Structure formats: structure tokens, C-alpha cells
Amino acid sequence: MIFSKARSQEQVRGRRIAGGGSTPPTSASSMYEQQYDAYGQPLPQQPQLFDDTSTQNYGYGQQVPDYSGMNYGYPQQPPQGQAAPGGGGAYGNLQGGMPGAQIFQDPMVANMAMQYGQTLASQGREYMDKKLEKYVSASQVKYYFAVDTQYVMKKLKLLFFPYTHSDWSVRYDQNQQVQPRHEVNAPDLYIPVMAVVTYILVAGLCLGLQERFSPDLLGIQASSALVWLVLEILVVLAILYVTAIQTNIKYLDLLAFSSYKYVGMIVALLAGIIMESMGYYCLLAYSSFSLVIFMFRTLRWQVQGGNSEMEAYSAGNKRRLYLLLFMSGLQPILMWWLTQHLVA
């Protein structure tokens, strides 16, 4: 009885097979022995202390672990092109992550911020106006642009036919010059500004007809015109300072008088386009002659300070006369210099 029981246990454990001899236990019998004792009762399960890594592949073709999903304590970012929940793209993520961003969504807070910004803008504008007022007064600039169509037509007629005009004095109202629209002899800046812009456009037209147009060349032409204008004004101011000549001319008056030559330059260039070089030289000569007369008679009243006659034997008046001749004679030279290369 005991022998048969022992034999059955050995057969159950798989230690004997038909034909005799003992063999190592198979995987199934090994698993059975690990789960049941000698009496067929289940064994208590031991807690697993470590993970089973026996099935991992450490050979060729090993897959590298993916650590892209680990954030290491930083906030997890959504995939590129995907908006965060409840946000509007990158801007929504910024608002959602910014502390106190929801405060600006309150209409009352938004209105207060807008009013504060408008106040800062007005204060900055007032500060800039005060700084600019020291050098350029807004009221003075507005005076030079107070023109109308009738004044422009009279002024253009005066530039081309100055010998038909007799009264070159400027009227004053309470020590202030009368606005140009009421006084044709008063200088203005409307015609000079329009003349400079038109001159640049006509120069571009001349270059285009000669197949030499390029944006860079047109920019050089505009820059040279402005540079020569500024140099002319600086030279006149330097002469006034060195010779200590007391005049009624302001620097804005000089800017206006020095820019009137662009009207004659435009007419000469248009004549050059229509009648080629012969028409250009004829109109340039006539425009230069008319401008010299206009400049001498107009500036004579400004330089003399209201005196109708210039005393030839006064040293101060001699300097004024030389200044008038210099300013008037410089205009034809600059007119030719700024236009001769634009005519084929």
C-alpha cells in the first residue's frame, strides 16, 4: 500500500517513465511542483519583489526606450499645431498660463486700462509738442500753408513774369505778416513742397524715357535734391552769422525762397521731353532769368527791413547787396546742376 502510494507520487512528479531511468522534470511538471506540495495542496504564493526582465530583448535590434512622454516636472505641452483645451492656439495657452490673465477679460478693467493708455498717449503728445515748439512752431508752419487756388495762380504768374509786378512789400497786421492767401508777396511752403515732389516724378519720367530708370537711381536723385537744398540754406545762414547782417528773413522764409527754383526746373525738363535739348536750354534760361529778378526784388524787401532805397555808401547795405546777389545768382547754377543729367 505504501509502495503503491509512493509509486503514484513519483509518477505524478514525473521522475519515472516507461522503460525505466530517471529524466529531468519537464517545464509543465516544474510548474506543477512550484504550485503544489507533495500532498497535492497548493503552495502559498510568494510576493514578487522585482519585475521579470527575462523576456526583454538585449540583442541585435534592441528598441530604444521612448522618454518623450516624460515631462520631468515641467508642465506638459500640447502637440504642435494643437490648441490647449479651452484656449485659442498659442495665444490661448499664453492667456491660460499667465497668472491674472482673466482679470483683463473684465469689461471694467479693460475700460480702465484703455483710459489709462489714452492718458499716457496724450501726455506724450503734449511733451513732444512742447519740445518741438522750441524749434518749429506749429502755428508758424500753418501760416506758410494758408493758401488757396487764387494765390497759387498769382504766385506762379509772379515767378514766370516778375517784371510785370511793381509792389513787392508785404502787409503786416499787428506786427504779424498777413497770410499768403491774402498777400501774394508773402512766402509759402505749399508751392515749394509740391514742386519738389513733382520734380522727383518728372525726373523719374525722364529716366524712364531714356531707359535708365531704376528705383535706386530715383532715390539718389531725390536725396541729392534735398541735400543741395539743405546745403544752400546752411550756407546762407552761415553768411548771415559771419557778416552779422540783421534781416527779417526767417529760416522758413529761406526754405521757401530756395525751393521756388524747382518750378522752373520742372518746366525746363518738360520742355526737354517735348523739344529735346533745345527746348530744355531755352526754357531753363528764361526760368533762371525770371527767378533771379523775383529773388532779388523779393529778398531786397526782406533783407533791407522795410527801407525802400538801399544806400550804396553804407557798409552794412553793401553786405546786404552782396548777399542778395549771391542768393539770386546761385539759383540758375543749381537749376542747371540738378537737371542737365536728366536731358538726353
Q: What is the pLDDT of residues 195-245, one digit of tens each?
A: 999 999 999 999 999 888 888 988 999 999 999 999 999 999 999 888 888
Report which of residues 169 and 306 the model is more confident about. 169
Region 235-263: what's the mean pLDDT? 89
- Torsion over CA of 243, 247, 253 and 254, rounded to 10 degrees? -10
Spatial CB neighbours of 57, under 8 Å, sequence gap ≥ 6: 63
- Is the confidence at residue 51, as pLDDT, over 50? yes
φ, ψ of residue 173 to 5 degrees: the values are -130, 105
Distance CA 16, CA 302 (A): 137
Please give the C-alpha separations between residue 252 and each of 185, 256, 296, in angstroms, as whole numbers.
15, 6, 18
- Is the confidence at residue 262, as pLDDT, over 70? yes
Q: Which of 73-77, 167-171, 270-274 is least confident?
A: 73-77
Report which of residues 239 and 5 the model is more confident about. 239
State the cell numbers at 166: 511793381
Q: Residue 162's Cα: distance from chain center in Å?
A: 44
Q: Which of 92-96, 140-144, 314-318 is least confident?
A: 92-96
Residue length of the chain? 344
φ, ψ of residue 176 to 5 degrees: the values are -120, 135
Mind giving me the DSSP string for 168-215? ----EETTEEPPGGG-TTS--SHHHHHHHHHHHHHHHHHHHHTT---H
Q: Is 77 helix (H, G, I), strand (E, B) or coil?
A: coil
Q: What is the pLDDT of residues 89-126, one digit of tens each?
A: 444 444 445 555 566 567 777 778 788 788 888 777 77
* pLDDT at res. 98: 54
Q: What is the pLDDT of residues 123-136, one digit of tens each?
A: 777 766 666 666 66
The whole-model pTM stands at 0.62
DSSP character at residue 83: P
